Structure 1
Amino acid sequence: MIEALREQVGEAETARLFGLADLSHHLVHAPDHMVDERDVVAIHTVVRAELGLAAARAAGRRAGELTADYLLANRIPQAIQPILKILPAGISARILLGAIGKHSWTFAGSGVFTATAGHPVRFSIAGNPVCRGATADAPVCDYYGATFERLFRTLVHGHATVTETACEAMGAPACTFEIRWR
């Protein structure tokens, strides 16, 4: 979120937002490890309150894209990426979902991640830290949508799109997403 906010609102406003969330220490020493999910809740809450929903969603989307880029460069083995790209999309999606499911604690925190392969691919996060405590008339979990969309467009199918179909911020029991490529 740091880089996404710096791009969107500049260094000074990013510092102000992180200060309001009591997270200025992350700007001094950018996290190089998993952060406490309470920090995730805090910064997303402050960004929504201070910048408004549209700007917060844009920042979340950009943060998700940057996260996917990091995962592609550093976490998803380079040897497997070209294989996923040439397999049929359904098979690649199943393999990628399996790997994501094994590491879901890294992005869902104490939330519960579930996924179903097929077309569309469906995944959900119950107890989602990104929107914890939020109320909205529209889905607000653009971070996850953008992360999965970039990963699936890169590794599964170039036309993959992610849509959040239900959101805890709207009163749903879980944030639910669909990934389609045809």
Structure 2
Amino acid sequence: MSAATGTRRGGGSAPPRDRIGPNAITRLAEALVGHGGPALAAEVFGQAGLARHLRRPPDTMVPEDEACRLHAALRERLGAQAPALARAAGTATADYLLAHRIPRPVQALLRWLPAPLAARGLLAAMRGHAWTFAGSGRFEAAAGSGGRATLTIRGNPLCRGQLALAPACDYYAATFERLFRVLVHPDCRVAEVACEARGDTACRFEVTREAPPKIRA
């Protein structure tokens, strides 16, 4: 379940620890263009010092500090609109993974399994490929009951050095939510309940199951 377009360098060599997959940049570019056109994308990327990535979108792992600068520029430039755009980019990232990175037989198996077993299978894949989205951060995942789970990133590269009053990692939350909805259960919801940008010790995401609405007699 790689967020990158490549594989680990050197086969069995250690993965890069200061880089993440390019989707954190390329999908945000798409969201910005869709929201405000090329001019808005150019403004945000220029503010982050990454105009070159608009001219030539990256297709290999990128330095995590570049992704951090871009997402910080998004929040600074667009304020209250930033979370929706980050979520759009996160959802698009998950769709990319489903289309290009997660094998179809694996997807079919996860969809067939009961939600608790599917969640455990998805979490195992996420742990194995955490280097593609958490970079030098440390990813942890614990399964709960009924397809529920807790996901944690310590040293989150996308909010490093940032200050916020509310959880700021909408990109990750949307990516995780889309994957859980498609592969585990459509009622899954993901909320960030702790964030390093807010002063918490880690960014923590809770995966819950939304109860179906009651039908009135």
Q: TM-score range by the shorter chain?
A: over 0.9
Partner of 2:30: 3
Q: In structure 2, what residue type is equivalent to 1:12?
A: A
Distance 1:80 1:126 in 2: 28
* Deviation for aligned residue 1:86: 1.2
* Deviation for aligned residue 1:73: 0.3
* Deviation for aligned residue 1:170: 0.9
Partner of 1:105: 131
Residue 200 of structure 2: SS of its match in structure 1? coil
Structure 1 residues without counterparts, runs of 5 or longer: none
Distance 1:102 1:23 in 2: 29
More helix by share: 1
1:58-77 deviations in Å (ceiling 9; x for gaps)? 11101100000000000000
Q: Please, which of 51, 71, 74 is the counterpart of residue 97 of structure 2?
A: 71
Residue 200 of structure 2 corresponds to residue 178 of structure 1 = no
Residue 195 of structure 2 corresponds to residue 167 of structure 1 = yes
* Deviation for aligned residue 1:141: 0.5
Superposition TM-score, scaled by structure 2 size: 0.81
Residue 63 of structure 2 corresponds to residue 36 of structure 1 = yes
Partner of 1:19: 46
Q: In structure 2, what residue type is equivalent to 1:49?
A: E
* Deviation for aligned residue 1:87: 0.4
* Deviation for aligned residue 1:23: 0.5
Residue 141 of structure 2 corresponds to residue 141 of structure 1 = no
Q: Please, which of 146, 152, 155 is the counterpart of residue 180 of structure 2?
A: 152
1:19-43 deviations in Å (ceiling 9; x for gaps)? 1111011111111112110111110
Q: Please, which of 110, 123, 137 is the counterpart of residue 84 of structure 1?
A: 110
Superposition TM-score, scaled by structure 1 size: 0.96
Residue 16 of structure 1: SS of its match in structure 2? helix
Residue 105 of structure 2: SS of its match in structure 1? coil
Distance 1:104 1:161 in 2: 20
Distance 1:174 1:39 in 2: 21
Residue 104 of structure 2: SS of its match in structure 1? coil
Distance 2:96 2:64 in 1: 19
Q: Please, which of 43, 46, 65 is the counterpart of residue 73 of structure 2?
A: 46
Residue 79 of structure 1: SS of its match in structure 2? helix
Distance 2:40 2:32 in 1: 8
More divergent stretch after superposition (85-94 vs 7-16): 7-16
Distance 2:172 2:73 in 1: 18
